[in-house]
Structure 1
Amino acid sequence: MPRPKKHIFRIQFHNNNRIYELYAHQVSQSEMMGFIEIGQIIFGEHTKILIDPAEEKLKLEFEGVKHTYIPHHSIIRIDEVEASGKNRILDAEGSTVTSFPGSTIMPLKS
């Protein structure tokens, strides 16, 4: 019996004036209000002799992390894709995408 195909998501978000692009199998609304939960981050196979230093940096940063929680206001976009690509970090300088400041918590109505 064929195994069901795992979903692959590309997540782009702001972190420390940089734009992170990660590929993962799990993306969901977190139980913590205002956060997106990302799990099973996909890193490239090292079957080649060449190693991408940017992806290695991300692999070290997320080493041992089961799930990471990203604030809603840091998310640029989430896409479901056919295949994973290279995880990367881009400079946000010169980017036309700006993170919207503020909270996603709605005030209580009286």
Structure 2
Amino acid sequence: MAGKQRLYRISFMNQGQRYELYAREVSHGTMLGFVEVGKLVFGEKTSLLVDTSEERLKQEFADVDRFYVPVHAIVRIDEVKKAGPVRVIDGEGGSKVTPLPFYTFGSDGKK
């Protein structure tokens, strides 16, 4: 399996919405406190039905080679066998996941 490319499903919060995207590259990156995401994967057009959520995300990330998500905004990262639909879910989307408290790196909590 030397030539097999890994595929990841990344769920993260952005401006009160939960994004769920697929990518070939996910790492801790070089910026402290951020997860680096690259090589986004979008579904193939196999039917006449157009998913407006997916089209919106394709437009939003059209010129993006890689992007960085703050660690505290990550809900989940899974390695998967195949890509599913990319989507944006308003609010928490019924999620029972509680985000970790926000922490500023280098801060000792004192003012």
TMscore range, shorter length: 0.7 to 0.9
Task: Report the equivalent of 1:97.
Answer: 97
Matches within 5 A, 1:22-61: 22-61=21-60
Inter-CA distance 104–26: structure 2 relative to 1 (3 Å threshold): farther
| Unaligned segments of structure 2, at least 5 residues | none
SS at structure 2 position matched to 1:41: strand
**Matched-pair identity in %:** 46
Write the distance in 2 (CA, Å) between the matches of 1:104 and 1:81: 31
Aligned structure 1 segments of 4 or more residues deviating by more than 3 angstroms: none
Write the distance in 2 (CA, Å) between the matches of 1:86 and 1:103: 32
Q: Deviations over 1:48-90 (max 9, x none)?
A: 2221100000001101100010000000110000101110011
Worse-superposed segment, 13-22 or 96-105: 96-105
SS at structure 1 position matched to 2:88: strand
SS at structure 1 position matched to 2:59: helix
Q: Give the deviation of 1:45 after TM superposition.
A: 1.4
Using the size of structure 2 for normalisation, the TM-score is 0.86
SS at structure 2 position matched to 1:57: helix
Using the size of structure 1 for normalisation, the TM-score is 0.87
CA RMSD across the alignment: 1.9
Task: Report the equivalent of 2:20.
Answer: 21
Task: Give the number of equivalent residue pairs.
Answer: 107
Matches within 5 A, 1:75-90: 75-90=74-89
| Unaligned segments of structure 1, at least 5 residues | none
Structure 2 counterpart of 1:103, which letter?
Answer: Y
Q: Give the deviation of 1:103 after TM superposition.
A: 2.1
